[in-house]
Structure 1
Amino acid sequence: MDIDRSILDVFTNACAKFGDRPAFTCLGQTLSIADIDRLSARFASYLQNHTDLEPGDRIAVQLPNVLQYPVVVFGALRAGLVVVNTNPLYTRRELKHQLNDSGAKALVVLANIADTASAVVAETGVEKVIVSEIADLHSPLKRVLINSVAKYIKKMVPEFAFANQVNFRDAMSLGARQPHTDVQRAPEDVAVLQYTGGTTGVAKGAMLTNRNLVANMEQVREALGDSMKEGEELYVAPLPLYHIYAFTIHCMCLFAIGSHSLLIPNPRDIPAFVKTLKGVRFTGFAGLNTLFNGLMRNPEFAELDFSKLHTTASGGMALTRDTAKRWEEVTGCVVTEGYGMTETSPVVSFNPADAVQLGTVGVPVPNTEVKVIDENGNDLPNNSPGELCVRGPQVMKGYWQRPEATAETLDSEGWLRTGDMAVIQDDGYIKIVDRKKDMIIVSGFNVYPNEIEDVISAHDKVAEAAAIGIPDEKSGEQVKLFVVKADPSLTVEEVVAYCRENMTAYKVPKQVEFREDLPKTNVGKILRRELRDEELKKIEAAVSA
């Protein structure tokens, strides 16, 4: 396992070996690996010759699953920049924080969501904004048709304006006029800043180095073994590439072996998703529990051609036994669940396809050590629940410009404290018995109570608030918010509207309950677990009744 290569080394090798192979398909248009090579070189040239960006500078990429994403990311990496993966669903507050915290000097954004950025970019250090329309890399006729329908018929492109704007196609035309120079970065240099709450609600940038990402690519490939064949795979890509799980699978593992990813820009549109898969003999599928459930509820899904499907990987949230069994019945393919986190690039463990243990997250991927510890940091024996710790080449360098947060998570020996409670069985399989104490997972996205409480507490009619996660059939969990009023006129509708203005949709509470007071410790810390236990008892009572 050669982990001392850079992502550029992996990219260059793939282009030389598999240039004629298809790499990414989206909305009926396919780019080969040679196309990605050519187009990313143009983008790198634009960055080097028409901006003031220097190697090591950060560029925020706010794109969904469209063809521009791999072109922009590989182009930025070839220019020696650090990619800041940015969620297209961010609100103004969230986007402003990430742009400022990362020190991003440039932003690439899809026109459909550019209004959010246009409202805050002047308050950040972003010097250049590159705006792309959804079909900018399609053939001329398709490009005009798709972009016009999106803009004028479906009204999907709101009004926006940037003082420092350039259109993506203009940038690519400029880049085509001059050569670029590939900038080789060291294995320990940061390649990607991936934002996460870590074990708290403060959004921090996990510094993922070239070595981290290349190592995890190699670990995943070795864990999957012969099931991932060079030049032969076609994986469905419904999870967003800006999420490290999908990034590692599709932009690292599959690209490196000359294989093909079918990008799904909007997986929430299940009928359109299923229609896209008709007639496609895909070999792999990387998803999560809620997505599997949504697809299986569509009657046309069972009619798809699953004859070539040999790998279904599940991550991001817990896989339920019922979902796993039904997926295997419908598709004939077993679901292999794994475990990871942003700070580990992300894969830590994986269930071998020929030895799946439902209810576990498998065994550590190669070159990865795991242990569990008690509250005092002492190592615990097998079959004893404790906090899971991980050590390996995929563990992040640390949190961007946050040495104290890094020290709390990473010790001097390289052990990362995950904050998850786990049991390591005698056979080496890992079972997650509890998650980070208060984190909520909505459809695979981490939601941190601290952030929700910080936002709603800024409302002048709110005295106190506490957020918890409660079970939800569709999304795994949903957010419930408990509020103590500072003004008796406060309504549920006001609370929800305020949250919608300031938070991404999946973080917005589905339930709001007003209380006279909230349970607290003797030092005044709100006891979220007590609130959660109360809710679970209510649910259990309702079910038994």
Structure 2
Amino acid sequence: MSNERPWLAHYPHDVPAQIDVDAYASVAAVVEEAFGRFRERPAFASFGKFLSYGEMEALSRQFAGYLTGVLGLKKGDRLAIMMPNVLQYPIALFGALRAGLVVVNTNPLYTARELKHQLEDSGAKAIVVLDNFAFTLQEVVGQTHVEHVVTTGIGDMLGFPKGALVNFVLRHVKKMVPAYSLPQAVRFRDALAQGASHPLPQVALGHDDLAFLQYTGGTTGVAKGAMLSHGNMVANMLQASAWIGDLAKPGEEVIITALPLYHIFSLCANGLVFMRLGGLNWLITNPRDMPGFVKELKKSGFTALTGVNTLFNGLLNTPGFAELDFSRLHLTLGGGMAVQRAVAERWKKTTGCTLAEAYGLTETSPAVCINPLDLKDYNGSIGLPVPSTDVAIWSEDNQPLPVGGVGELMVRGPQVMQGYWQRPEETANVLGADGWLHTGDIARMDEQGYVYIVDRKKDMILVSGFNVYPNEVEDVVMQHPGVAEVAAVGVPDEHSGEAVKLFVVRKDPSLTADMLKQFCHDNLTGYKRPRQIEFRDALPKSNVGKILRRELRDEQKSTATV
């Protein structure tokens, strides 16, 4: 079936079947082309401060000079970036890539346990961290290979006096910067100043060189680094660009970047695809502040927006959103989690723009399928495979299924990762020698090549577009001395799509839900924490003693529908 590619007959008229992967040698080559072509145009905006493509070129060059000339980092060394959407993020990102380093995107909300694992596993030698999260780094940095720390405040790139004022308010008025001590740290602006006297390193980069270690939860409960090469990222950027085609005008787009750039969807779709088009990435640092988000939208003159279902739903329910000027908005892309029909239909009614659903994985850099962007209405599908991509539905014994058959979604294409960092066995479990990647998602394909997700990865919980693997949550909860057994499952949640629910058998009869929630608060990032905890005398098990999460999930579904 994969050879037939029925989807090609249903592509939008200007979308090619194949992309030219060799158009760029590296991600660095893409951004350098944009720097030159759109020098005077604004590239990034944050808190009312704009940086042009020319300024981004100069600042990222200075940062590359600091990384190589001052710190002595070499091609292939890993740099962790632990920041939300602030101007320092793209400067550090592009500086690192131009210096030939491998970027380790790090969620700023990680607990000390999660951060230590990622820094240790990746072997990161340096990290750039926002002041607000530096106290977490302080706890673990001595137990990692990190030799160099660069710290920065949210206001550091906003100019005087605004930047100083923003930093003062965050630190002293809103108390959003917990005290920390990292005596060896260098300030971001000082790093730029020191790097200015060093030349941009001349690094030869090709498709096989690593660009990112993008960490993703694992069914083993430990986050794994998906090795995304320059070739993978260039391919996916070109695939998405080809899909957008003439719908985006070079030098005229304003894309709202509310999803964090450390998330692969935002990184590729907003940070790279729209940068190559000379678009303006309008950074939203805290999208949870919905009234503030709507105020930003009002100022921006936005033409495009990417997000997850919870983000669109949140905007639709925020006063003032429906009154915005949507006359320039012509592209809304939803990914990261299933887009709900009710949200998509309300979005179209409110904005006049179709919410097109897309599907991807960290392991595929990320896009696999996207709906045609001229789609008239929501169709419940994740779309058609993007150019140069093969998709097939396989049975449990790895045989292709006929049209309409339900099985595992398989993907092959130039965007598929090189494998998991230093985990050959886990790589072999999902990536065949023939290039087919097991997604773990259950799907079906219709005659036209549209793909429909039937079930998310069997046990995975999807909270606001972030993967939560029950094993990891259970491993942490089992460390509590009062717990005998635990199972974590996803339950429907109107805000986040799904939320984590724990079923617990107590070892200590005095253990309460509040005590356990506090323990989870201390050891798990926010989206992984349980919203509900139910105590049981026993958990359902298979004949070999394996806890049956599916039974618990089905039980939740039946009680929800009663």
Q: TM-score range by the shorter chain?
A: over 0.9
Aligned to 1:187: 207
Find out whether 1:201 has 2:207 as its counterpart: no
SS of match in other structure, 1:207: strand
CA drift at 1:328: 0.5
Aligned to 1:404: 425
Which residues of 2 match residues 256-335 of structure 1 at below 5 A?
256-335=276-355
CA drift at 1:200: 4.5
Paired residue for 1:3, among 7, 13, 21?
Answer: 21
Which residues of 2 match residues 74-153 of structure 1 at below 5 A?
74-153=94-173
SS of match in other structure, 1:140: coil
Deviations 1:309-368 (A, max 9, x none): 000000001011110000011101000001000000000000002235521000000000
Aligned to 2:413: 392
Find out whether 1:359 has 2:380 as its counterpart: yes
Distance 1:142 1:184 in 2: 39
Deviations 1:117-170 (A, max 9, x none): 111111100000100110111112111111111111111111111142111111
CA drift at 1:257: 1.4
Distance 1:27 1:199 in 2: 39
Distance 1:111 1:27 in 2: 17
Letter in 1 for 2:21: I
Letter in 2 for 1:453: E
CA contact (8 A) 2:344 2:378 kept: no
Aligned to 1:512: 533
CA contact (8 A) 1:199 1:419 kept: no
Distance 1:199 1:422 in 2: 19
Letter in 1 for 2:139: A
Letter in 1 for 2:171: K
SS of match in other structure, 2:180: coil
CA drift at 1:177: 2.2
Aligned to 1:484: 505
SS of match in other structure, 2:81: strand
Which residues of 2 match residues 461-500 of structure 1 at below 5 A?
461-500=482-521
Which residues of 2 match residues 498-537 of structure 1 at below 5 A?
498-537=519-558
Distance 2:126 2:335 in 1: 31
Distance 1:177 1:147 in 2: 27
1:62 to 1:231, Cα distance in 2 relative to 1, 3 A: same
CA contact (8 A) 1:6 1:184 kept: no
Letter in 2 for 1:532: R
Aligned to 2:12: none
Runs (4+) off by over 6 Å? none
Aligned to 2:72: 52
Q: Using structure 2 for the length normalisation, give the TM-score.
A: 0.95
SS of match in other structure, 2:161: helix
Can you give the 5+ residue segments of structure 2 that lack an aligned partner in the other structure?
1-18
How many residue pairs get matched?
541
Which residues of 2 match residues 340-355 of structure 1 at below 5 A?
340-355=360-375
Distance 2:464 2:220 in 1: 19
Distance 2:449 2:378 in 1: 11
Paired residue for 1:33, among 34, 37, 53?
Answer: 53
Find out whether 1:210 has 2:230 as its counterpart: yes
Distance 1:200 1:417 in 2: 16
CA drift at 1:199: 4.8
Q: Using structure 1 for the length normalisation, give the TM-score.
A: 0.98
Paired residue for 1:21, among 33, 37, 41?
Answer: 41
CA drift at 1:198: 4.6
Paired residue for 1:73, among 80, 90, 93?
Answer: 93
Deviations 1:275-304 (A, max 9, x none): 111133211000111111111111200111
CA contact (8 A) 1:279 1:305 kept: no
SS of match in other structure, 1:510: strand
CA contact (8 A) 1:351 1:357 kept: no
117-126 vs 199-208, which deviates more? 199-208
Which residues of 2 match residues 435-450 of structure 1 at below 5 A?
435-450=456-471
Distance 2:436 2:118 in 1: 27
Distance 1:274 1:184 in 2: 43
Letter in 1 for 2:182: F
CA drift at 1:2: 3.2
Distance 1:368 1:2 in 2: 13
Q: Pairwise CA RMSD of aligned residues?
A: 1.0
Find out whether 1:373 has 2:394 as its counterpart: yes
SS of match in other structure, 2:58: helix
1:14 to 1:391, Cα distance in 2 relative to 1, 3 A: same
